[in-house]
């Protein structure tokens, strides 16, 4: 059930009836203002560690992933290991449950806690699942840093978050450029599920209404839909088969291997394969790169996940050293990734995680290459 990796073994140098309504612009602007996002670069230590208490030799910091199947976990794990390899007094323990459920997560936390870490960095994909174990971690006297969605009222020392709202705004602002001549789109969102989902919806909507000439054909709300998000995408395409873009503010519909959601393809003269529709989503983990490379995806927006793991361990170390005025919240910014920029992004993603492209994409025979986007 538990995958433990000692990272320090080597210290090498809508429809209208079914969805939340497309809000009036004034209301969206209010939501936009209510949820500001602050960003900071996190791939390097953000300041000297001269003050504060020394980190004791062999200090153990654990990083616990949401699950082994989380597409961001290899990058997060690699970034944490990269920080560990630069810190001679630090030992990093990396673990993740093999299933995405509260019982598996609690088992991993208990196993890790038995090894007496000084701090735990906990990946939070679902706050309701993670909140009970987060409280237990703090109750045990351990310093807690959350990764991903923030957890209020659990006593965490700090948090590392992803700039998803800004990424959603970037997608809305960039729709026309992403579309390559396509004139319409459909939207799948999670507005109201939690504060983060509402931020993403508000910022995308304001930017799209302000900056895009594309026509919004229909909207669906992803919460509680029978058949899940893949069903909703198929439903929208059933009504609007010629929609230019499918915009999803979660990558969930495109991540599952079985059942796999694939957009319809057509063969152009010269046997060139093209897609009638293309999707755009938040999330840029390696599992999505082949879809971007093939042209099925028009754009992705996501972070270098290695920076997330690196920043989490750095934050925990600063907390353990009692660094005066240390920053306790980091927001890792996202990038807009297109077929033209995929090659460069993939190389930097791998470097941030301290991995090779073969590590990240074991079933790919070659490096993702920059190429022109589809029409």
Q: What is the CATH number of the domain that holds 169?
A: 3.40.50.2300
* Residue 190 burial (C-beta neighbours within 10 Å; 0-12, 13-18, 19+): buried
**Boundaries of domain holding 151:** 2-13+36-163+304-333
Query: Which tokens is 346 given?
Result: 């993939």
Q: Does 22 map to a domain?
A: no
For the stretch 313-360, pLDDT in tens is 999 999 999 998 889 999 999 999 999 999 999 999 999 999 999 999
Q: Does one domain contain both 142 and 125?
A: yes
Q: Does 18 map to a domain?
A: no
Q: Does one domain contain both 347 and 199?
A: yes
Q: What is the pLDDT of residue 314?
A: 97
Q: What is the pLDDT of residue 258?
A: 84
For the stretch 180-238, pLDDT in tens is 999 999 999 999 888 999 999 999 999 999 999 999 999 999 977 777 899 999 999 99
Predicted TM-score (pTM) of the model is 0.84
Residue of 81, 149, 142, 67 whose CA lies nearest to 112: 142
Q: Does one domain contain both 188 and 292?
A: yes
Domain total of the chain? 2
Q: Does one domain contain both 154 and 270?
A: no
- Residue 227 is given by DSSP the state T
Q: What is the end-to-end Cα distance of the chain in Å, rounded?
A: 46
- In contact, 251 and 242? CB cutoff 8 Å: no
Which residues in the chain land under pLDDT 70? Answer: 1-51, 267-273, 364-375
CA–CA distance, 89 with 103 (Å, rounded to integer) = 33
- Which residues does 48 contact at the CB level (< 8 Å), separation at least 6? none
Q: Does one domain contain both 150 and 262?
A: no
**What Cα–Cα distance (Å) separates residue 98 from each residue in 1, 69, 80, 104, 115?**
5, 7, 19, 7, 19
Q: Does one domain contain both 134 and 227?
A: no
Q: Does one domain contain both 86 and 147?
A: yes
């Amino acid at each position: 059930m538990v995958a433990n990796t000692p990272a320090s073994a080597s210290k090498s140098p809508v429809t209208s009836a079914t969805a939340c309504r497309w809000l009036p612009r004034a209301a969206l602007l209010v939501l936009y203002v209510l949820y500001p996002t602050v960003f900071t670069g996190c791939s390097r230590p953000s300041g000297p560690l001269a003050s504060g208490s020394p980190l004791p030799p062999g200090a153990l910091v654990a990083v616990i992933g949401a699950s082994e199947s989380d597409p961001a976990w290899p990058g997060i794990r690699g970034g944490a290991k990269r920080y560990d390899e630069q810190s001679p007094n630090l030992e990093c323990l990396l673990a993740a449950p093999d299933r995405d459920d509260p019982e598996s997560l609690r088992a991993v936390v208990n196993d890790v806690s038995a090894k007496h870490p000084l701090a735990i960095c906990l990946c939070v994909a679902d706050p309701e699942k993670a909140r009970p174990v987060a409280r237990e971690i703090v109750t045990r006297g351990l310093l807690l840093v959350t990764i991903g969605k923030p957890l209020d009222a659990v006593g965490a020392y700090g948090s590392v978050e992803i700039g998803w709202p800004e990424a959603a705004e970037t997608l809305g602002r960039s729709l026309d450029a992403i579309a390559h001549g396509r004139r319409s789109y459909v939207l799948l969102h999670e507005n109201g599920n939690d504060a983060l989902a509402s931020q993403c919806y508000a910022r995308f909507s304001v930017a799209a209404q302000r900056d895009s000439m594309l026509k919004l054909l229909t909207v669906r709300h992803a919460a509680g839909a029978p058949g899940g998000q893949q069903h909703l995408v198929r439903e929208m395409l059933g009504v609007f088969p010629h929609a230019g873009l499918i915009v999803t503010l979660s990558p969930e519909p495109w991540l599952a291997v079985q059942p796999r959601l694939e957009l319809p393809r057509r063969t152009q003269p010269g046997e060139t394969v093209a897609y009638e529709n293309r999707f755009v989503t938040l999330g840029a983990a390696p599992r999505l790169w082949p879809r971007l490379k093939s042209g099925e995806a028009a754009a992705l927006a996501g972070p270098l996940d290695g920076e997330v793991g690196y920043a989490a361990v750095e934050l925990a170390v600063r907390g353990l050293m009692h660094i005066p005025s240390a920053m306790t919240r980091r927001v890792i910014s996202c990038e807009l990734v297109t077929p033209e920029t995929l090659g460069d992004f993939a190389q930097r993603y791998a470097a941030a995680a301290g991995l090779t492209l073969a590590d990240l994409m074991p079933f790919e025979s070659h490096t993702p290459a920059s190429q022109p986007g589809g029409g």
